Every structure is written in C-alpha cells, then in structure tokens.
C-alpha cells in the first residue's frame, strides 16, 4: 500500500472522528435536535427523525379521538417519532400537561380543544422557546381564527402543526383587583376571586359580552356551537347600562356609561365578526373597545351596522349615534364598574368584579402559524 493511500485513509479517519465529535458536541448544545443527530451518526439502522410532537387534548370535545388518530397517522407518514399524547381532566386543564411535554423533550406542543384548553396550555408555554400549535376542536376557536389555522380540516391543521413557521405573539393578562361584595363584606354569588389573574389571547371583557358568556348553555354550545352565545345574548339586550371608569396607561380615568368594554389582543370573532379592526397579535399593545347602545332595539341595530362597517374597513364618525363603538389603544388599563359586573377572558367566565386590571405581555408566546 503506497504512502499516498495511507495518507488518504488517515485523513479520512481523522475527518470522520472530527465530524462525529462535532455532531456530538452540537447535539449537546442543541438538545432539541438530538434525534436527528443520532440518526446521522448511529449504527446505520434506519430511525424516525424530526421534531417530537406533543398534543394536549381535551377528550370531552367531539372529534378528539379522530383528531389524535389523524395526528398519529400524519406523524408516521412524515417519518416523525410517535407523538406524545396528554389528556386533560377537570382538575388538570392543560397547563401541567404542557409543562410535562416540554420537560420530556417536545419540539412542538399543540393544544387540541376549545379556547379554555388553548388558554391553559398557553399559560404554561409563555416565555418558553418551544412553539405552541393549535388544533381547533372547540366552539369559538378564537386564537385559531386569528392565526388563520384551518378550522374545517383536521388534516390541514395537523399539517400546519408539523411544518408551519414559528412567530412570537403578545398575550394579555387580566387581574381581579376588587371583587363583588355585599354590605357585609362577603363576596356576592358569582363573585370573582380577589387576585385571580388569567391569561387571554384574544379578548377580555366586562358587561354585556361577559354576561352572555356566563349564561350560555353548555349543552347548547355542544349542539350549535357559537350560536349558543348569540342566543344567550338576546336575554341581555334590555339590561342596564353600567357606569364604568376607564384608565388607560398613565392617563386620567374617564367615567362613562356603557353596555360593554372589551380589551383585545386581536379582533376576529365567530360569525365573521371583526370587533377590533386595528388589533394585531404582535404589535405590543392592546385595543380597547367601549360599546354602548341606547333606544332599545334600534340602538342594537345601529351597533350591528357599526360592526359590519368596520369589518369592511369603513368608519362612521357622525355624532348622535345611539349605537356606537369607541376605540383606544393602551399597554395597560384599569376598569372599575359601579355595583359590579361579569368579566370574561376568551369566552371563559371569571365571575363578577368591581375592578379589573388588564395589561399586555409583548411577544411572550411562540406559536406555530401559517
């Protein structure tokens, strides 16, 4: 064997050892890529490679079983490892399962359920470097709508979970700073818990919208979806206007009478409604909508016209309207309601509050999106 051949063999061995060492060191520095590294430097046996998918699923939702079967099938088809599946319970609504998935090495954690499951998973994923995906099987599917996640095709939603792009979005927080108590100092029925702090991804609100959410029938929601909220809202059309004090950032509080006040991270709602046309998921601020009607059904009819117009990019700034939406923007707002009112976050009731503090956490959540 010539010296040139020996030199070539020695150089090849050194290069192979160096490559192997580099891959091992790189995989230790990048634990989420370790599955691929093992496949490259292993014993030559074909192995599944790619990101590890975890799905936190609400088994009570219709279609949950079919969804998990689709996840397994499409992961296998893509040559990915067997997905990790976690089911929620009444006591463990998704946050603990999401933390367990991240600790187990998941590269993507998907929330498969309604808006409550999505909020629970998101609360555990805030600040993490692992993206959260959304597989919509709920009633409102609020975040999915605003992220343009497919709502009618499970296969398309799962495909997005596997191969979509990652982006940071803002999250909102709502804290009960004064709850609804009686003259004896004890909380009234349905009162919120003092200090309760809830994450929201779409909209938090007080007044008409929250009372509608609180009164929506669970059985009807399963049967007719978001229409159940509309039917519950009809019962509150003739409710009282609330006296509310609103403080935006460091500005002086303003007192007015409203039907509802909503603070949003994004603005698309079920039924093709765009409540906050200027809201963006990643702009670092929250959009505030002060909603009022007078004159009975005529006021509500004009309000509906306002919503339709602004969804089409049109604004009606004429004075004297009996149904109106006033818009503002802020990083933090404090809302105080005389006599207490219902509050909600992303369609989940918080209870009755006197005062609610709401603020934005910019870019806090990494999500998988189109």
- The dihedral built from the CA positions of residue 348, 350, 351 and 352, taken in this order, carries a sign that is negative
Residue 340 pLDDT level (bands cut at 50, 70, 90)? very high
- Fold agreement (53-163, 171-363): no
Write down the pLDDT at residue 39: 36
Residue 134 pLDDT level (bands cut at 50, 70, 90)? very high
Tokens found for residue 262: 């909503």
Q: Which residues of 245-259 are buried (b: 16+ CB within 10 A; e: fewer)?
A: ebbbeeeeeeeeebb
pLDDT greater than 80 at residue 25: no
Tokens found for residue 67: 């969804």
Q: Of 95, 83, 146, whose CA–CA distance to 122 is shortest?
A: 95
Write down the pLDDT at residue 201: 97
Residue 50 pLDDT level (bands cut at 50, 70, 90)? confident
Cβ-based neighbours of 290, under 8 Å, separated by 6 or more: 246, 256, 258, 261, 325, 326, 327, 328
Write down the pLDDT at residue 209: 83
When the pLDDT of each residue in the chain is averaged and rounded to a whole number, the result is: 82
Q: Which residue did the predictor score with more confidence, 355 or 322?
A: 355
Write down the pLDDT at residue 46: 37
Write down the pLDDT at residue 194: 95
Q: Which residue did the predictor score with more confidence, 36 or 361?
A: 361
In CATH, the architecture of 171-363 is Sandwich (2.60)
Write down the pLDDT at residue 274: 86
Residue 231 pLDDT level (bands cut at 50, 70, 90)? low
Write down the pLDDT at residue 192: 94
pLDDT greater than 80 at residue 321: no
User: What pLDDT, in 10s, does the model give residues 53-94?
Assistant: 999 999 998 889 999 999 999 999 999 999 999 999 999 999
Torsion of CA 288, 294, 297, 303, to 10 degrees: -30
Task: Kindly give the pairing relationship between strand 53-57 and strand 108-113.
Answer: parallel
User: What pLDDT, in 10s, does the model give residues 244-274?
Assistant: 999 999 999 999 999 999 999 998 887 778 8
Kindly state the average pLDDT of the residues 174-190. Answer: 86
Kindly state the average pLDDT of the residues 110-138. Answer: 95
Kindly state the average pLDDT of the residues 90-105. Answer: 97
Write down the pLDDT at residue 32: 38
Write down the pLDDT at residue 265: 97
pLDDT greater than 80 at residue 226: no
User: What pLDDT, in 10s, does the model give residues 196-212?
Assistant: 999 999 999 999 888 87
Kindly state the average pLDDT of the residues 23-30. Answer: 39
Asked which of 67-71, 258-262, 280-284, 302-306 is least confident by mean pLDDT, the reply is 302-306
Write down the pLDDT at residue 185: 73
Write down the pLDDT at residue 230: 59
Residue 293 pLDDT level (bands cut at 50, 70, 90)? confident
**pTM for the full predicted model:** 0.80
Q: Where are the domains of the chain?
A: 3-41, 53-163, 171-363
Tell me how far apart the terminal alpha carbons of the chain are, to the nearest angstrom: 58
Superfamily of domain 53-163: Probable inorganic polyphosphate/atp-NAD kinase; domain 1 (3.40.50.10330)
Kindly state the average pLDDT of the residues 145-160. Answer: 94
């Amino acid at each position: 064997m010539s010296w040139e051949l020996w030199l070539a063999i020695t150089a090849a061995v050194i290069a192979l050892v160096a490559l192997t060492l580099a891959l091992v060191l790189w995989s230790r520095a990048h634990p989420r890529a370790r599955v691929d590294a093992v496949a490259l430097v292993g014993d030559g046996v074909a192995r599944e490679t790619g990101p590890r998918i975890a799905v936190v699923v609400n088994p009570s939702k219709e279609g949950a079983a079919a969804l998990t079967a689709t996840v397994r099938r499409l992961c296998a088809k893509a040559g990915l490892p067997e997905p990790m599946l976690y089911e929620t319970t009444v006591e463990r609504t998704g946050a603990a399962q999401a933390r367990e998935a991240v600790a187990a090495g998941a590269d993507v954690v998907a929330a498969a359920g309604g808006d409550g499951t999505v909020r629970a998973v998101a609360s555990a994923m805030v600040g993490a470097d692992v993206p959260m995906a959304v597989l919509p099987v709920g009633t409102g599917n609020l975040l999915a709508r605003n992220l343009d996640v497919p709502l009618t095709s499970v296969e398309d939603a799962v495909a997005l979970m596997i191969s979509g792009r990652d982006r940071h979005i803002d999250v909102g927080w709502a804290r009960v700073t004064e709850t609804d108590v009686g003259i004896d100092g004890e909380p009234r029925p349905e009162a919120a818990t003092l200090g309760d702090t809830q994450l929201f991804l779409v909209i938090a609100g007080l007044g008409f919208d929250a009372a509608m959410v609180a009164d929506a029938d669970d059985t009807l929601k399963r049967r007719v979806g978001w229409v159940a909220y509309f039917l519950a809202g009809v019962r509150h059309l003739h409710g009282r206007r609330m006296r509310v004090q609103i403080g935006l950032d460091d500005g002086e509080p303003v007192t007015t009478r409203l039907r509802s006040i909503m603070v949003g991270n994004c603005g698309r709602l079920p039924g093709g409604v765009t409540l906050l046309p200027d809201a963006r998921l990643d702009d670092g601020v929250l959009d505030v909508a002060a909603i009022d009607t007078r004159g009975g059904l005529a006021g509500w009819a004009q309000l509906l016209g306002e919503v339709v117009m602004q969804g089409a990019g049109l604004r009606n700034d004429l004075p004297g309207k009996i149904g109106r939406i006033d818009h503002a923007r802020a990083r933090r707002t404090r809302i105080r309601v005389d006599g207490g009112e219902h509050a909600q976050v992303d369609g989940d009731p918080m209870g009755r509050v006197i005062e609610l503090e709401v603020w934005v956490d910019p870019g806090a959540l990494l999500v998988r999106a189109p």
